[in-house]
């Protein structure tokens, strides 16, 4: 029997079977035993976390590092240090908002930028764009964890989005190799109709003052991203998923109207999973101040009633994961334009705050730490095929977050590590203070100390995956 080189123990360890006292025996960065709390061999270094929660490091499968490819190491440092500070030990970079990682040469450039500059482990998605279906096989051979795309409307002008025809070209190939398609979806038709309806309903005064006043009203912005734009995209995706049998993971679901078709699809066991984001579970549109463009994202933060339905879907298992959709502006794109929703950057950078933000709402609703771990650790790891992540169990990486679920803090802009944009959480009171974070048995974050270590690895998906989807 091997002796551990580190033991982490607590009265509240989050295991698959529930929260219980345990001593985690760690050797070579892996968990080699989940044993009784008192089981501590003489001479072993021990991190005794007492009553703090010891949970698997969170796995964020929806991060836009937004690297401008070569030479952009700094953005990997900022993003992954923000992740480590927030208890996230693995991120999947789904590609730049300006254009997904659509070729092996782009993937290689991004990997070169990231190598040696990551505080947490980083995996990558390949991208689907019009005309790149021949890249699917080579990208899969490079070990990407999934293929990401934007179906319908691009998040920023000039970025590549795919049509139904493009998906019909790509999805059979993805299905053949067992790859997962991760999709952002909003269709242009409902958005165009909403915009033209809004303009035609304006009187002379509204039109004359639109650029000064109308673009600052959140309700006006929300009107231009109706639920139907998302829901119609989801319905089309479900049809394609049924037709081709391609594993499909819907990203950043905001529209509760899409839950009914999703329910029907999962009832007939289509290979479908769904993600929502912390900001959709935390904020409500009724409370977004006019001009507060830090709240801008697409799809948008919707009404309180919509938020409650998303919580119901999460609790009921219809939505399986919560991921940040961390998306600061890429270099060369200006950040927040003060007070103007029509021109401001759309994207909420929250990889550092996701865990406490979601826990704040989870605990207020009477859900448990174990459910939190299912939504932010186990579920995303399984869907991405990260077989050694997201779980405290023998054979898994010793990626751990040790945190106090009862402590509260107010979000202070000066503590945010990714400095590329503002965030709507500034000033919010959140529950859950992170004390220490381990990556493969090494401390990568301690509360109050600046992080100097960049011990993260670039992950490659094994060619044969045993990950199941449920
Ligand atoms: Zn995204």
Q: 54-68, 152-166, 350-364: which range is least confident on average?
A: 152-166
The DSSP result for 430-459, as a single string, is EEEEEEEEEETTEEEEETTS--------B-
In which element (H, E) is residue 103 found?
A: none
Output the CA 5–ligand 1 centroid distance in Å: 39
User: Among 186, 318, 191, 187, which Cα is nearest to 260's?
Assistant: 318
User: Among 371, 418, 350, which Cα is nearest to 63's?
Assistant: 350
Secondary structure of residue 134 in the 3-state scheme: helix
Q: pLDDT exceeding 90 applies to what percent of the chain?
A: 80
Give residue limits of the domains in the chain. 57-387+417-427
Output the CA 404–ligand 1 centroid distance in Å: 29
pLDDT confidence tier of residue 183, bands split at 50, 70 and 90: very high
Output the CA 460–ligand 1 centroid distance in Å: 21
Q: How confident is the model at residue 464, as a pLDDT?
A: 52
> What length is written for the chain?
470
pLDDT confidence tier of residue 290, bands split at 50, 70 and 90: very high
Please state, in angstroms and rounded to a whole number, the distance separating the CA atoms of residues 120 and 344: 30
Residue 35 has pLDDT above 60, yes or no: yes
Other CB atoms within 10 A of residue 429 CB: 11
Q: What is the mean pLDDT of residues 323-328?
A: 94
> Can you list the alpha helix ranges (DSSP code H) found in 181-288?
188-200, 204-209, 218-223, 227-244, 259-267, 278-282
> Can you list the alpha helix ranges (DSSP code H) found in 210-254?
218-223, 227-244
Q: What is the pLDDT of residues 90-100, one digit of tens each?
A: 999 999 887 88
Q: How confident is the model at residue 168, as a pLDDT?
A: 98
Point out which residues pair with 113 in neighbouring strands.
Answer: none
Q: Considering only residues 453 and 212, tell me which one the structure prediction assigns the higher pLDDT.
A: 453
Output the CA 388–ligand 1 centroid distance in Å: 24
Output the CA 277–ligand 1 centroid distance in Å: 10
Q: What is the mean pLDDT of residues 157-161?
A: 81
Q: How confident is the model at residue 467, as a pLDDT?
A: 44
Q: How confident is the model at residue 97, as a pLDDT?
A: 84
Output the CA 257–ligand 1 centroid distance in Å: 20
Output the CA 161–ligand 1 centroid distance in Å: 12
The token duo for 453 is: 């270590």
Q: Considering only residues 397 and 418, tell me which one the structure prediction assigns the higher pLDDT.
A: 397
Q: How confident is the model at residue 212, as a pLDDT?
A: 63
Q: 252-256, 398-402, 461-465: which range is least confident on average?
A: 461-465
**For ligand 1, a single-atom ion, which residues have Cβ within 5 Å?**
325
Mean of per-residue pLDDT scores for the chain: 92
Please state, in angstroms and rounded to a whole number, the distance separating the CA atoms of residues 160 and 102: 10
The token duo for 19 is: 């929260």
C-beta of residue 295 within 8 angstroms of C-beta of residue 424: yes
Q: Is the N-terminal amide bond of 299 cis, ω within 30° of 0?
A: yes
pLDDT confidence tier of residue 337, bands split at 50, 70 and 90: low
Q: pLDDT exceeding 70 applies to what percent of the chain?
A: 94
Residue 400 has pLDDT above 90, yes or no: yes
Residue 213 has pLDDT above 90, yes or no: no
Phi and psi for 312 in degrees, rounded to 5?
-65, -40
Q: What is the mean pLDDT of residues 190-211?
A: 81
Distance, CA of 51 to chain centre = 28
Q: What is the mean pLDDT of residues 413-434?
A: 92
Please state the pTM of the whole predicted model: 0.95
pLDDT confidence tier of residue 334, bands split at 50, 70 and 90: low
Give the pairing type, strands 147-152 and 126-127. parallel
Q: 148-157, 171-180, 341-350, 457-466: which range is least confident on average?
A: 457-466
Q: Considering only residues 75 and 449, tell me which one the structure prediction assigns the higher pLDDT.
A: 75
Q: How confident is the model at residue 465, as a pLDDT?
A: 47
C-beta of residue 310 within 8 angstroms of C-beta of residue 361: no
Q: How confident is the model at residue 469, as a pLDDT?
A: 40
Output the CA 464–ligand 1 centroid distance in Å: 27
Task: Assign domain 57-387+417-427 to a CATH class.
Answer: alpha beta
Output the CA 184–ligand 1 centroid distance in Å: 6
Q: How confident is the model at residue 357, as a pLDDT?
A: 98
């Amino acid at each position: 029997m091997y002796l551990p080189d580190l033991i982490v123990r607590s009265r509240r360890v989050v295991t698959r079977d529930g929260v219980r006292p345990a001593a985690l025996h760690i050797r070579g960065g892996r968990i080699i035993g989940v044993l009784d709390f008192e089981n501590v061999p003489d001479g072993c270094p021990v991190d005794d976390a007492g009553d703090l929660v010891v949970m698997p490091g969170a796995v964020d499968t929806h991060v836009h590092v937004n690297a401008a490819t070569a030479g952009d190491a700094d953005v990997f440092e900022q993003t992954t240090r923000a992740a480590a500070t927030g208890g996230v030990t693995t991120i999947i970079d789904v590609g730049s908002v300006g254009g997904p990682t659509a070729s092996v040469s782009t993937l290689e450039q991004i990997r070169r930028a990231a190598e040696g500059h990551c505080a947490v482990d980083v995996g990558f998605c390949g991208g689907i764009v019009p005309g790149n279906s021949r890249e699917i096989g080579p990208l899969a051979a490079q070990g990407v964890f999934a293929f990401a795309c934007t179906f319908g409307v691009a998040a920023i002008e000039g970025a590549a989005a795919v049509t139904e025809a493009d998906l019909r070209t790509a999805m059979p190939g993805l299905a053949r190799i067992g790859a997962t398609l991760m999709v952002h979806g909003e269709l242009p038709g409902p958005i165009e109709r909403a915009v033209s309806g809004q303009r035609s309903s304006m009187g002379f005064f509204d039109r004359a003052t639109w650029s000064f006043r109308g673009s600052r009203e959140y309700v006006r912005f929300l009107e231009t991203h109706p639920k139907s734009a998302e829901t119609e995209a989801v319905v089309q995706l479900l049809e394609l998923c049924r037709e081709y049998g391609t594993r499909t993971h819907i990203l950043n679901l905001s529209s509760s109207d899409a839950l009914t078709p999703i329910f029907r699809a999962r009832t007939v066991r289509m290979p479908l999973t769904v993600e929502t984001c912390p900001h959709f579970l935390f904020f409500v549109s009724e409370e977004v101040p006019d001009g507060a463009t830090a709240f801008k994202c697409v799809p948008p933060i919707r009404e309180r009633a919509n938020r409650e339905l998303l919580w119901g879907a999460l609790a009921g298992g219809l939505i399986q994961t919560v991921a940040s959709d961390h998306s600061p502006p890429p270099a060369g794109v200006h950040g927040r334009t003060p007070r103007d929703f029509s021109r401001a950057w759309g994207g909420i950078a929250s990889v550092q705050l996701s865990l406490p933000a979601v826990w704040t709402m989870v605990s207020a609703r009477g859900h448990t730490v174990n459910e939190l771990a299912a939504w932010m650790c186990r579920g995303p790891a399984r869907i991405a095929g990260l077989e050694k992540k997201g779980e405290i169990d023998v054979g898994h990486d010793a990626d751990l977050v040790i945190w106090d679920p009862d402590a509260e803090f107010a979000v202070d802009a000066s503590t945010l590590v990714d400095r590329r944009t503002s965030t709507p959480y500034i000033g919010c009171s959140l529950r859950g203070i992170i004390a220490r974070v381990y990556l493969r048995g090494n401390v990568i974050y301690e509360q109050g100390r600046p992080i100097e270590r960049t011990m993260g690895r670039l992950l490659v998906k094994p060619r044969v995956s045993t990950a199941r989807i449920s």
